[in-house]
Amino acid sequence: MRETLRLVLVLGLVGMISGGVLGLFYDYTMPMVQARQVQEVMEKGLKGVIPEAATFRVAESKGKEKPEGIAEVYEGLDNNGKVLGVAFEAGAQGFGGPIGLVIGLDPATQQLLGVKVMSHAETPGLGAKVQEEGFLQQFRGKPILDPFVVKQDVDGVTGATVSSTAVSSSVGREARKVLQYLGQEVAALPEVTVPAQPSTRETGAEPAEVNLVELARVVLLGADNCRVKELEIEGVPGFTQGDRVCEVRGEKGDLLGLVLVVTGNGFGGPLRVAIGIDAGMSAITGIRLLEHQETPGLGARVAEEEFRGQFTGKHINDSFSVGQDLDGITGATVSSKAVSELVREKSRAAVEYFRGRPGSN
């Protein structure tokens, strides 16, 4: 009995000592591991987009709040201390999961210096090609006021529209946010317009009909020359009266995707939103607010590019949760959530319906 007790005490003491040693070793080595990780980002990431930089330092914020999702912004300096540009880490939601990016830009010219993919979970041989120089080189020298739209001003990776769109839209959006954070004046993006819709708040009338072909060109990739066929959705779960789902095909009959015109309720009244879904039925290609009654200067900002641009490239199965994977409008949480939930629910309903139709592809 005494031998057993002695053995238990010895083993317990050995375990305590071993645990303490491991804990001390972890505490000792962890700072070195973290420093090595930072050094790797500095060398492979930051220097990957500003290769001429000799050193990097944290950029001053000019009193602005750091954009969500941006850990730090660095200035790249040459050997004489001259600022060559700024670089920062950002993320995008690809087809297979998060894509880690490092983006370099020149605040003076408001042009990109380069883009580097640091991590991804995209499909080998397809979406994984977004990390290759053939895709990324097109961003060098690109003005941040370009649309950053695949098949419009960005050449996507063949067979990987979602991955290409995710990277492209994130690069443009995050670069604009960082310049504003640094105190730069950033002009509004040029808008592709659709026919103006009167507000029922002002007229008391139903909104005018939209041109579906023109709308497809706005919210769907590669729909410059297309044919639009409205599908029968009466009685289909997830849709209400007035909702429309349209199949969009190219000149040769190839499927380009879906365009939805759907309705919901915002803070101030009815919302009417156009949604584009890619041919793979997996991602949003763009949205537009066609009609709303949200508060000017607050909820009405859901119609602006800064908010709705976040939806481009989002996977259908994302949460679309404000504060989680979408940035809401400050002071207009209800309006932000209303649009987000409307896009999520109607898009999923449309994809489920379309996939279940015989001969839909």
Q: Side by side, which strands form the sheet with 98-106?
A: 55-58, 73-77, 83-93, 98-106, 111-119
CB 177 within 8 A of CB 70: yes
Token readout for 288 is 């537009």
CA atoms within 13 A of residue 85's CA, in its CB half-sphere = 25
For residue 207, what are its two tokens? Answer: 């909104």
Contact 233, 245 (CB under 8 A): yes
Instruction: Give phi and psi for 286, each to the nearest 5.
Output: 165, 155
- pLDDT at residue 119 in the model: 93
> Phi then psi for 272, rounded to 5 degrees?
-130, 120
What's the rounded Cα separation, in Å, for the pair 57 and 67? 18
Q: Find all residues with CB under 8 Å of 150, minimum gap 6, and list them.
A: 156, 161, 164, 165, 168, 221
The neighbouring-strand residues paired with 150 are 154
Note the pLDDT tens digit of each residue in 101-129: 999 999 999 999 999 999 998 888 888 99
Domain ranges of the chain: 55-181, 200-355
Kindly give, in sequence order, each residue whose CB lies less than 8 Å from that of residue 226, ignoring residues fewer than 6 positions away.
Answer: 213, 216, 217, 220, 248, 249, 250, 251, 256
How deeply is 346 buried, as exposed, middle or buried, from its count of CB atoms within 10 A (0-12, 13-18, 19+)?
buried
pLDDT per residue as tens digits for the range 189-204? 654 444 434 333 333 3
- Of 8-12, 102-106, 140-144, the one with minimum mean pLDDT is 8-12
Least confident span in 50-54, 147-151, 261-265, 345-349: 147-151
Sheet-wide strand order for 244-250: 226-231, 244-250, 255-265, 270-278, 284-291
Q: Which two tokens stand for residue 203?
A: 């007229």
Q: Percentage of residues in the chain with pLDDT exceeding 90? A: 47
State pLDDT tens for residues 241-296.
889 999 999 888 889 999 999 999 999 889 999 999 999 999 999 999 988 889 88
